[in-house]
Chain A
Amino acid sequence: MGGNIQAMPIAISYFSTEESLKELNLHKNIPNLIANNLINSGLFKLLDRDAYMQNPDQLNARPKFRDWRIIDAQALISGKIIKKTEDKLSVSVELWDIYGEKRMFGLSLSSKIKSWRRISHIISDKIYERLTGEEGYFDTRIVYISESGSQKNKIKRLAIMDQDGGNHKYLTDGKSLVLTPRFSPNQQQITFFSYNGIKAGLKPSIYLYNLLSGKIEILGQFPGMSFAPRFSPDGLDLVMSLAQNGTTNIHIMNLKSKKTNQLTKGRSIDTSPSFSPDGKKIVFNSDRSGGQHLYVMKRNGKNAKRISFGRGSYATPVWSPRGDYIAFTKFTRGRFFIGLMRPDGSEERLIAEGYLTEGPTWAPGGRVLSFFRQIPQQNGSMKTRLFVIDITGYRERELNTPEDASDPAWSPKNIN
């Protein structure tokens, strides 16, 4: 599909179900959630259900393709829900090619009834992958910083939600300032920066949150402030910055042994490191040449090469999980932008802008990103929200959050 902006018209029928399940309304909620995911991608257009000539029960057999061609559907999704036990159900889904008059795939999933959202996201991924050839990103979560309070006294809490805003949950109580959360590759851990413990004399530091146990641990005590953490693609190491005596350098820490190695040297500010998906290189932000620019170095810190040469300041580089782009924040002529460039610095382009836009994060598949934006309000205050955009720069949309939101981090794909 790539740069094709025309959305594909698809039909997503309500599912057939047994009488005893009807009161749960899942036969409507599941196809609605699938439709919501696919439409949000911007690549699909849902055909009005009032125009469908076959009902969900009739679709248990092979569809009458002619009936769907009349309304211009290129693909049809049908499904059936069966109750397996008191709290378990099975959902089977079929994707039909209307013009080829054939079944593209069938899929059957069973789980606890309460996991119906998860089932819907997994189905969405399979359909998206089949129709676009790209990796799906719907069965994922976003961890971010929820903001409340006044500008001078912000309360910041770690929060997590499904990529569509479902299952929203706060992970910390807001008593200590938390910033810049990032997922581990197995998405069971979140690393973040916090001022927790400064009253007890601890430096502001990097912490690790275990999503399964809910346990929070501090990742070592350093002579200076440790911040800007990110996992290596294999999850064994963490890159981060250590600031001491006016200098900020990049270090790598082995999470098992807790041994650290210094990767950059000198009097400059080197920060916001991010690994290439093969784990062999690190892109980071440095002011060693005067202005803030992006550099790529080997994992061992050798061979640092500048890759950004445009006007303005470049920051927060993040390597796409596919390896083909580096997303970044750029500040120039009083405005902030989210931009993309190839790992060698070529083909730079800006895809989003604002009074302040910052902190891009990639969805699995490397075709969609999230970032946050501060939006000036009439009364002089600021609204801070999360946004999603794809690499073409089209189809930008706001993600709903209960309060102001910043520092999004998209999870890797769920492991089934």
Chain B
Amino acid sequence: MLKYLKIFIITVFLLNFISCTNKEQESLLLDAEGGNTDQNDTLTEEIEIIDNTAQTIEMDEVELTVEEKLSAELIEVGDRIFFGYDESTISDESAEILQQQYQFLIRNSELSITITGHCDERGTREYNLALGERRASAAKNYLISLGISSNRISVISYGKEKPTVAGHDETAWNQNRTAITFINSN
């Protein structure tokens, strides 16, 4: 029983990863997790949850749009790079990811992108807005240096306003010092 549930949750995570986030899926995932944490008193109810979700997943696979597929591809090549505290330098690891993004942009030459810059919460609001802009610009300039035209890339800084990971510790801060690439929708 529990084994099934685990497999199911992993499946949903993978699909989430591939198809980018989808509201319906998210809520179903929450349902399933809720079912998992419930006391194991009614086995039949849990089985019902699995059946429901499995059906929806199949439907979602069919409904993927071109844009969703491209977003999924971007996530797969690496949509984000990370920074040290109060830093905006592109590490070797980040450079590799940006080279992948460059290849992706060459393959999809009609696409334009927005890079959002983010900071951890350990700085003042205004300084972090500037630092987020500096991080997003560092990513943008790296792509330009590889040969992407500057008019295909916009930047937006969110400073410390939109952390990608919740939490108030080193782990969260490391994830939140980031620049993330998004495909612009037309």
Contact = CB atoms under 8 A, between A and B. Distances in A.
A154 B161 contact: yes
Contact of B156 (A150, A179, A204, A247): A204
A358 B124 contact: yes
A243 B168 contact: no
A244 B86 CA distance: 18
B130 A243 contact: yes
A80 B121 CA distance: 52
A139 interface: no
B141 A243 contact: no
A246 B87 CA distance: 12
Contact of A177 (B137, B161, B166): B161
Given A151-B163, A152-B162, A246-B137, A285 B127 contact: yes
A260 to B, nearest CB: 18
Given A151-B163, A154-B161, A177-B161, A224 B133 contact: yes
B48 to A, nearest CB: 29
Contact of B127 (A150, A204, A269): A269
A198 B156 CA distance: 9
A271 interface: yes
B138 to A, nearest CB: 6
A151 B133 contact: no
A352 to B, nearest CB: 15
A241 B164 contact: no
B80 interface: no
Contact of A271 (B130, B165, B167): B130
Contact of A225 (B88, B133, B163): B133
Interface string A247-270: 110000000000000000000010
A353 to B, nearest CB: 14
A272 B166 CA distance: 27
Interface string A179-192: 11000000000000
Q: Indicate the size class of the contact surface on chain B.
A: 20 to 34
Interface string B156-183: 1100011111111000000000000000
A230 B37 CA distance: 51
A277 B109 CA distance: 54
A269 B141 CA distance: 17
B125 A150 contact: no
Contacts of B121: 356, 374
B127 A292 contact: yes
A152 B129 CA distance: 16
A243 B126 contact: no
A180 B166 contact: no
B126 A228 contact: yes
Given A177-B161, A359-B125, A248 B156 contact: no
A376 B161 CA distance: 18
B131 interface: yes
A272 B126 contact: yes
B15 to A, nearest CB: 21
Contact of B130 (A150, A269, A355): A269
The 4 closest A-B pairs by CB, nearest first: A246-B137, A248-B130, A243-B133, A315-B124
Interface of B: 86, 88, 121-127, 129-131, 133-134, 137-138, 141, 156-157, 161-168
